[in-house]
Amino acid sequence: MPRPATPSPPPGGSGQLHPERKPIPLETLHELTRQLLSVPREAGTPDAAKARELIADHLRGLGYTIEIQRFFFSPASLRAFPIFGAGLGGLAVVLLPLLYSPQAPPWAALALWAAGLAALLVLVSGVGLGWVALGESAREDANLVATRGSDRPRRWIVAHLDSKAQGHSMAGRLIAVWVTVLAAAALSVLTIARLNAPVDAVWLVAGATLALAAGFLAGKGQLRGRSPGARDNGSGIVAALTAAEASSDPSLGILITGAEEFGLVGARVFAHLHSPGLQDMEFVNVDTVDEEGTLSLVSHNTRGQQLAGKLEPVLAQLGMPVRSRRLPIGIFVDSAPLARVASAITIGRLTWRTLQRIHTPADTADGLSLETARRLGKALASN
């Protein structure tokens, strides 16, 4: 678990509230949005910190009390998937002689595959969770927690602040994940088949090709360039801030998480610090709201399905297709760690065209009105 920089109080309590700071004059949400989307917001950078302060000042002007919940995280976590892809390709090359040779013991390939895969999974888990830094220095980022009054919020509107750019888009990452899963399944089948007889060369070539393709595609997941993150997740920030403006109800809280793109770090930190007191709360995470596509309500368990069922008829009144679904393989959202301790869902609206933009420098505000995000924020604040 990434470590908090300082202890943090329960939601709605006292903490790093900066009472000495006087709120700046309230800017319009339109101007704030323009400033937020004008620069990339990679977690742990000065641009991300500046964006967080702009949001904090805006919310203070609306009468919210602000807690800045700081933590450290390892940027090496994004290297977990490329390492897994490269390891899978290397493991396939080592397996080939054992799968093909009649002289090799029938169990040798299976033993090597099981041991190699287990070791690879342990390594990438450690990297992905921030336990293995791979020589990279830790970065500091933060969650922004906004509440009204002393009562604990009943519903939290959640959105992550950070953006990133990689060697492939989200669409490219999904393809890489699917190829990697297929390659791992194919190699598993081939090693089991070797228990009966040597594997035919045609199948070996097919399995090795899949594994090498997985390594190549996964390797493109390294950070490359910068992205303004207009859709992912400037749109979610706009929805959350619209909800904050539309409601004066102290039972509504705003949670702007940090380092989501580096393994849901901010949401995991928040859930870890506050888990004893979150059971009766609702978390509605808004992540990527484009102007086209179906409005998806993504849940992770029964409690999330119940929350989605409650919101679905309300959101259907927005005049766009709405559906409840489970999270697709290869996509990670802040509601996942929150769902372990409370009722939590993620709401998003996107198409394959959206997926081809996000996580690239092309995720700009061009052609994005943010009207859907504003309407969504108002609906979540009033129901």
Residue 26 scores a pLDDT above 50: no
Q: What is the mean pLDDT of the segment spanning 188-205? A: 95
Check whether the bond before 233 is cis (ω within 30° of 0). Answer: yes
Residue 357 shares a structural domain with residue 252? yes
How many structural domains is the chain composed of? 2
Last residue of a domain, one of 155, 189, 219: 219
pTM across the whole model: 0.90
Domain membership of residue 318 as a residue range: 29-69+141-166+228-382
Candidates 351, 357, 349, 350; CA nearest to 377 is 349
CA distance 285 to 4: 22
CA distance 103 to 198: 9
Read off the pLDDT of residues 128-175 as tens digits, 9 standing for 90 and up: 888 888 888 999 999 999 999 888 899 999 999 999 999 999 999 999
Residue 15 scores a pLDDT above 60: no
Cα 222 to Cα 72, 78, 360, distances in angstroms:
20, 7, 12
CA distance 185 to 155: 41
Residue 102 shares a structural domain with residue 207? yes
Q: What is the pLDDT of residue 277?
A: 86
> Is residue 84 situated within a structural domain?
yes
> Is residue 9 situated within a structural domain?
no
Last residue of a domain, one of 182, 202, 219: 219
> Is residue 201 situated within a structural domain?
yes
Residue 212 shares a structural domain with residue 357? no
Last residue of a domain, one of 158, 189, 219: 219
Candidates 320, 277, 274; CA nearest to 297 is 320
Which tokens belong to 266? 């901010």
Candidates 49, 44, 42; CA nearest to 138 is 44
Residue 237 maps to which CATH number? Answer: 3.40.630.10
Residue 309 shares a structural domain with residue 162? yes
CA distance 164 to 223: 7
Residue 33 shares a structural domain with residue 100? no
> Is residue 203 situated within a structural domain?
yes
> Is residue 19 situated within a structural domain?
no
**Cβ pair 241, 58 in contact under 8 A:** yes
Q: What residues contact 151, with CB distance under 8 A and at least 6 apart?
A: 12, 250, 251
Q: What is the pLDDT of residue 131?
A: 87
Residue 62 shares a structural domain with residue 93? no
Strand order in the sheet with 252-257: 65-73, 139-147, 252-257, 155-160, 282-289, 343-349, 295-299, 322-326
Report CA 207 to chain centroid distance, whole Å: 31
Q: What is the pLDDT of residue 13?
A: 42
Candidates 58, 355, 123, 363; CA nearest to 50 is 58
Residue 108 scores a pLDDT above 50: yes
Report CA 44 to chain centroid distance, whole Å: 16
Residue 355 shares a structural domain with residue 309? yes
CA distance 187 to 119: 16
Residue 112 parent element (H or E): helix 108-128
Residue 305 shares a structural domain with residue 184? no
End-to-end CA distance of the chain: 34
Give buried/exposed letters for 30-54 (b at 16+ CB in 10 A, else e).
eebbeebbebbbbbbbebbbebbbb
> Is residue 131 situated within a structural domain?
yes
Grouping H, G, I as helix, E, B as strand and the rest as coil, residue 64 is: coil
Residue 283 shares a structural domain with residue 207? no
**Cβ pair 380, 318 in contact under 8 A:** no
- What confidence tier does 29 reach under pLDDT thresholds 50, 70, 90? confident
Indicate the average pLDDT of the chain: 91
Residue 369 shares a structural domain with residue 276? yes
> Is residue 215 situated within a structural domain?
yes
Read off the pLDDT of residues 331-360 as tens digits, 9 standing for 90 and up: 999 999 999 999 999 999 999 999 999 999
Report CA 11 to chain centroid distance, whole Å: 22
Q: What is the pLDDT of residue 1?
A: 54
Residue 182 shares a structural domain with residue 63? no
Of 55-64, 130-139, 157-166, 301-310, which range is least confident?
Answer: 130-139
CA distance 127 to 119: 13
Residue 85 shares a structural domain with residue 101? yes
> Is residue 18 situated within a structural domain?
no
Q: pLDDT: is 15 or 50 the higher one?
A: 50
